[in-house]
Amino acid sequence: MNKNKLLLKYLIYDFIAAILVWVLFIIFRKAVNDIPVFDIIQVLLPQSYYYTSLFLFPFYCIFIHYLTGFYLQTDKVNRINMISGTLVSSVIISVSVFFILKIRDVTISYQYFYYSLLVLFLFLFVVIYFFRSIIVTEIKMNYRTKKWTINTLIIGTGNNAKKIATELERNEERNSLIGFVSINKKNSTTAPEKILGNINQIESFIKNYDIQEIIVALETDEEFQLFEIINSLFKYNIDIQFTPRLYEILTGSARIKKIGISPLVSVTDITMSDWEASVKRFLDIIISLISLLLLSPFLIYYMIRIKMDSKGPVFYKQERIGRYGKPFNILKFRTMYLNSEKGMPKLSSENDSRVTPIGKILRKYRIDEIPQFWNILKGDMSLVGPRPERKFYIDQIIETAPYYCLVYKIRPGLTSWGPIKIGYSDTIEKMIERLNYDIIYMDNMSLLNDLKILIYTIEIIFKGKGV
């Protein structure tokens, strides 16, 4: 199954459905409001403004579907979330269009418009649901006939792994169990012919068998390796789950997602709902664009000041580790003298002699971070999320806090709960403390919490507590 092709198919079908809905609605409005019932020719020839709306309406529908989160996980769409998603988007689209039409047609009675609202809603829900149900039916058929399948690996060869494998094969038509990966041969209760190899060969297994999902099912004496294994898997951008320990059960992290399968803890799923995640990304783009435009005179001023203050480029690029453990180049205003970091990376401190005079001002008010709005536009970062670190320091953090890999599930951020609580992290200990706050943030992700963090960040900026 190609997720990108499936998403494109939903987009095309939704676009066609929107055009059909608007044509039907135009005919309804013309027939009921504008002309006699028998004037069929005029019914089929809408006024000029209908042509414009016929072009805009499908794009508006796609935009609303996106904001409701429908396109975020199209490979996991089923009948229930298809009905709920179509219902919600149909209500939003019909109500918003209703008000636009009411503003335009001020002389038309409210009774007619309430009637029009109901008709538009029904057209939207029925037509969009019909087209989407074609895709969902095809998906179910493809899984049932095994034309499509979710190739799954189980890491572990003990009783825990064997139990999960039995449940998968008995209850899950979508998953195809490819085999097991060994961690500790002493605990193995799995038939040798089902074991593909050991954990050191995991990359070749994922590529050769097109693995889309991995379940880490370790025994009690192997659990100390859990996060080390998860950390090595994130870069492959696949679904990762593990069998819960007592801690995950007591804290409610274990979720029943498939009937007949023991509760599993997803490492790659975020706690934020799909619609919130979609709106979050939309706001990232809009706020970044507006910020760069409004702050452009301000940015030009500091670009000149940096150039006059010391030799070197205006901007500073540095490789950081982002979502799924993939590296990207973070963009900042240069705040240090040229070649200040020779060889071994060194953390900056409050009274760092390497920082230029203008750099101190930039850091105090976090002005040096403004170019990262470009990273946000590119999709490398978000407005709110764990601060990205260099691999050199991540390797040191993992020695004490192996769960660092959990931050890879979301985009790193311009600001987050960790930097607000800890401030400038100039030691590994502070980085670990900041990480713990970031984990708490990820367990409680919501648009409301993002707004609170942004407000706190603005307060820090105006008070000059950036360092």
* Residue 422, pLDDT score: 81
What is the model's pTM?
0.86
What integer is the mean pLDDT of 313-340? 91
Q: Is 157 in contact with 187 (CB distance < 8 Å)? A: yes
At residue 2, what are phi and psi to the nearest 5 degrees? -100, 110
List the beta strands (DSSP E) in 222-326. Answer: 239-242, 265-266, 315-321
* Residue 39, pLDDT score: 44
* Residue 363, pLDDT score: 86
* Residue 52, pLDDT score: 74
Give Cα 10 distance to the centre of its chain.
19
Run of H or E residues at 431 = helix 428-443
> Residue 59 corresponds to which amino acid?
F
Task: Name which of 18-27, 92-101, 208-217, 315-324 the model is least confident about.
Answer: 92-101
The pLDDT of residue 265 is above 80: yes
Q: Is 322 in contact with 380 (CB distance < 8 Å)? A: yes
* Residue 146, pLDDT score: 84
User: pLDDT by residue (tens digit) across 346-397?
Assistant: 777 667 788 888 988 888 888 899 999 999 999 999 999 999 999 999 999 9
The pLDDT of residue 83 is above 70: yes
Cα within 13 Å of Cα(13), Cβ side: 19
* Residue 34, pLDDT score: 57
The pLDDT of residue 88 is above 90: yes
The pLDDT of residue 9 is above 90: yes
The pLDDT of residue 36 is above 70: no
> Residue 259 corresponds to which amino acid?
I
* Residue 43, pLDDT score: 41
The tokens of 160 are what? 């825990």
User: pLDDT by residue (tens digit) across 399-445?
Assistant: 899 889 889 989 999 999 888 888 777 788 889 999 999 988 998 89
* Residue 37, pLDDT score: 40
pLDDT tier at 111 (50, 70, 90 boundaries)? low
At residue 264, what are phi and psi to the nearest 5 degrees? -125, 155
pLDDT tier at 322 (50, 70, 90 boundaries)? very high
pLDDT tier at 124 (50, 70, 90 boundaries)? very high
The pLDDT of residue 77 is above 80: yes
Average pLDDT, rounded, for the chain: 85
The tokens of 193 are what? 């012919």
How far is Cα 10 from Cα 80, in angstroms, rounded to an integer?
A: 16
How far is Cα 294 from Cα 285, in angstroms, rounded to an integer?
A: 14
| Percent above pLDDT 90 for the chain | 43
Run of H or E residues at 195 = strand 195-198
Domains located in the chain, CATH noted: 3-144 (no CATH), 150-266 (3.40.50.720), 274-463 (no CATH)
Helix (H, G, I), strand (E, B) or coil at 151: strand
* Residue 67, pLDDT score: 96
What integer is the mean pLDDT of 139-148? 87
pLDDT tier at 145 (50, 70, 90 boundaries)? confident
Task: Name which of 42-51, 132-141, 249-258, 439-448 the model is least confident about.
Answer: 42-51
Nearest to 185 by CA among 229, 215, 222: 222
What integer is the mean pLDDT of 16-33? 85
The pLDDT of residue 2 is above 60: yes
The pLDDT of residue 307 is above 50: yes
What are all long-range contacts of 73-76, with beta carbons under 8 Å and residues at least 24 apart? 73/274, 74/3, 74/6, 74/7, 74/10, 75/1, 75/3, 75/6
User: pLDDT by residue (tens digit) across 273-306?
Assistant: 999 999 999 999 999 999 999 999 989 999 999 9
Task: Name which of 41-45, 106-110, 399-403, 451-455 the model is least confident about.
Answer: 41-45
What integer is the mean pLDDT of 268-277? 90
User: pLDDT by residue (tens digit) across 172-203?
Assistant: 778 889 999 998 777 778 888 899 999 989 99
* Residue 26, pLDDT score: 82
